[in-house]
Amino acid sequence: MAQYSRISGSVGLITLKSLPVNALGAVVRQGIVDSLKTALQDPKVTSVVICGQNGVFCGGADIKEFGDSESGPPLIPMIHAIEAGNKPMVAAIEGFALGGGLELALGCHYRIAHSKARLGLPEVTLGLLPAAGGSQRLPRLIGVPAALDLIITGRHVTAAEALQLGIVDQVTDHHTVDAAVKFALSVAGRPLDARRISSYSCPPVSGDLDALFEEVMRKVRRGARGAIAPVACVQAVRAAATLPYARGMERERELMATLFTSGQARALQYSFFAQRAVSRWSTPSGARWDASAPKPVRKVAVIGLGTMGRGIAVALAQAGFPVVSVETQEKQLTEAKRAVSQMLERGAKRRGVAAPLDKMSYSSNIQAVADVDLVIEAVFEDMGLKKKIFQQLSAVCKPDALLCTNTSSLDVDQLASQTRNPELVVGMHFFAPAHVMKLLEVVYGPRSSPQALATAMQLGKKMGKVSVAVGNCPGFVGNRMLKAYVEQAFFLLEEGATPELVDSALEEFGFSMGFFKVSDLSGLDVGWKVRKEDGLALPGVSTGPSARIRQGRRYSPLGDLLCQRGRFGQKTGSGWYQYGKPGGRVATPDPWLHSFLEEYRAQHGLVPRRIDPQEVLERCLYALINEGFRILEDGIAAGPEDIDCIYVFGYGWPHYRGGPMFYAAMVGLPKVLERLEHYYRAHPDVPDLQPCSLLRRLVASGSPPVQKWKEAIKKLHSQL
């Protein structure tokens, strides 16, 4: 709703009231329309202030209502009525004015913001554009280049930047509504024509306007990797720059109509709510986020200063935590100190703040962690070494300190068993580079306490991560699913594909790099080491029938064979592609690799066939999705939202496709099932292609929408 009152004798005050973010749902819009009418009709009222309750102006249109049929007064005419009003309208912006919230403020004649407020048009992140006049008013107010930046990126600006850009007229450190009322009294009776942004022309740009838009469009198309909203945003701003306001609004509406009903908008809006849903974690044993208070964390230690440890230490210091970093090898310690300082300085420069160098301290002695509240171990993936470190930590640390491991696949429970308090052990699986990547898998073992889990989840949140609670199993969620995908990529090469064909299908789908390019970038030796430890990559088994079978199932030794030849990817100058020199970055197809694949197929009696991009996608993605269903069935992830956040924020899954489980729901579960059955019939020696029973049961129960899977899974489990 919106509440109306008259204050200071002649100011009409309209307060948006809809917790938690005063979103502009139907009831709020109705409240604004009614209040506006009252204010405009009351002769005692000479100006109007619009504000929001609870220190928040407005979080924009109500995203939850997007799927519903429209009810209540529409937003655009409401904002037009505000702008056309014959009494000065002042927006009092506290907290944030985002999306439709900022568009509402742009319809007002003046805007006063609190110094801590944030403003922005983030619709593009929801697969939309600012279609309540924002794409037409903002360029008229602040100019085309600045408006393009805000609208295409969706970034939020501070009140100070908003003032500098000319979005707000005044910034206050005091009570915003009081300041706005004072301001409203001061402008009462002033002419308003010059304050109606829709009547402005866009300020002229320096240089050629067409050339500017062409350049921007080129960049946006390249960066968008198939996302349609950023492109539509550019088109809408171009309309603002080249058409009269009314025609620009028509164009804005046309573009929005296409976006509004698109699968991409549905995926991005699903992802918005999924990110919030994963913070309300629960475990199969009944532990829950709202019943588990996190322990306070004041000081943290990181053990091991390789690539991961350095990134984790930087992320912690940037989040304001004092960090003790321990590295026993002196040479590595010296190098790491320099690298960490550089990373902190670079990050600070980018963000325009001081580098938090004072948060970091270093030691080569594990005793230095004696007073910390939480430790993150980040040494090599070696169970023996990690066990030893956990024994030491258990002896050295405070008895109530949380002991976390950054392992990407090892058994967290085995590490817990090395300590006095196994309930205080959890996994904190960061993704490289740890100070950049948003994802954190928080792994609870069978003995981890709800409080330990809550503490790690909260720490992740404070570090700006999307933290997802997952159960303990080999590879947890992300890497467990990835295994099925990687395996298919190798098999496709055996059957006739090239790395270029596989990668281009995946890149066309929206991944920034296909599997083989990623593998060259991160180093083929990484996977080789894991396969050797798992007993898969065996020396000397490169011929004969057993060369392509391991542990009773089909296996492709292709990656191992490249490693045996010293082809580790970019670092050695060749891998699945050729890079010209060690450390080269530009992948070019490699004729040697093509002949190698031909010889390999001939040697193993494999007859190559034509493989189309559709098969690449279905084999790689459906195998991965099938493993996702197994993970849900096993209770390792609480719901599809958890898996989808992991893939979007940790594995480069295109955001506008929602995540693998959302994608499966979009494709249709019966189709995913049918294709998996088809491929399993063709490859009965590949268990990953055998449809999982949960997928079958969901299809049998009518393929509920992805938002209902959690419920459906619970019901299916209770029927067993």
Ligand X SMILES: CC(C)(COP(=O)(O)OP(=O)(O)OC[C@H]1O[C@@H](n2cnc3c(N)ncnc32)[C@H](O)[C@@H]1OP(=O)(O)O)[C@@H](O)C(=O)NCCC(=O)NCCSC(=O)/C=C/CCCCCCCCCCCCC(=O)O
**Piece of the chain touching ligand X by CB under 6 A; list 128-136, 219-227, 303-311, 572-580:** 128-136
Concerning whether 677 is annotated as a catalytic residue, the answer is no
d(CA 228, CA 637): 31
Least separation, in Å, of the C-beta of 81 and ligand X? 15
Among 84, 201, 210, 273, binds ligand X (CB under 6 A): 273
d(CA 643, CA 665): 13
**Piece of the chain touching ligand X by CB under 6 A; list 96-104, 215-223, 412-420, 422-430:** 96-104
Least separation, in Å, of the C-beta of 125 and ligand X? 6
d(CA 302, CA 379): 9
Least separation, in Å, of the C-beta of 66 and ligand X? 8
- List binders of ligand X among 441-470 (CB under 6 A): none
d(CA 490, CA 637): 27
Residue 59 found at the interface with ligand X (CB under 6 A): yes
Strands 549-550 and 466-471: unpaired
Concerning whether 627 is annotated as a catalytic residue, the answer is no
Q: Quick check: 45 and 6 in contact, CB under 8 A? A: yes
Least separation, in Å, of the C-beta of 278 and ligand X? 11
Q: Is 270 or 622 the residue whose CB approaches ligand X more closely?
A: 270
Residue 99 found at the interface with ligand X (CB under 6 A): yes
d(CA 236, CA 268): 20
Residue 96 found at the interface with ligand X (CB under 6 A): yes
Among 64, 219, 553, 715, binds ligand X (CB under 6 A): 64
Residues 6+ apart with CB under 8 A from 717: none
Least separation, in Å, of the C-beta of 466 and ligand X? 12
Give me the residue label for tokens 């280049």: 145
As to burial, measured by CB atoms within 10 angstroms (0-12 exposed, 13-18 middle, 19+ buried), residue 444 is: buried
Q: Quick check: 666 and 263 in contact, CB under 8 A? A: yes
Least separation, in Å, of the C-beta of 290 and ligand X? 12
Q: Is 104 or 502 the residue whose CB approaches ligand X more closely?
A: 104
* SS3 readout for 313-338: HHHHHHCCCCEEEECCCHHHHHHHHH
Residue 62 found at the interface with ligand X (CB under 6 A): yes
Least separation, in Å, of the C-beta of 165 and ligand X? 19
Residue 438 found at the interface with ligand X (CB under 6 A): no
d(CA 291, CA 476): 24
d(CA 611, CA 619): 11
Among 131, 168, 249, 374, binds ligand X (CB under 6 A): 131
| The one catalytic residue among 83, 94, 123, 495 | 123
Among 83, 94, 123, 327, binds ligand X (CB under 6 A): 123
Residues 6+ apart with CB under 8 A from 634: 471, 473
Helices 263-278 and 245-260, packing angle to 10 deg = 70
Give phi and psi for 440, each to the nearest 5: -135, 120
Least separation, in Å, of the C-beta of 454 and ligand X? 17
Q: How many positions of this chain bind ligand X (CB under 6 A)?
A: 28
Would you give the binding string for ligand X spanning residues 339-378, x where CB under 6 A is met? Answer: ----------------------------------------
Helices 245-260 and 134-142, packing angle to 10 deg = 130
| DSSP symbol at 288 | B
| DSSP symbol at 27 | H
Q: Is 20 or 545 the residue whose CB approaches ligand X more closely?
A: 20
Q: Is 425 or 638 the residue whose CB approaches ligand X more closely?
A: 638
Q: Is 54 or 341 the residue whose CB approaches ligand X more closely?
A: 54
Residue 257 found at the interface with ligand X (CB under 6 A): yes
Give me the residue label for tokens 């049961």: 697
Would you give the binding string for ligand X spanning residues 14-43, x where CB under 6 A is met? Answer: ------xx-x--------------------
Catalytic residues: 103, 123
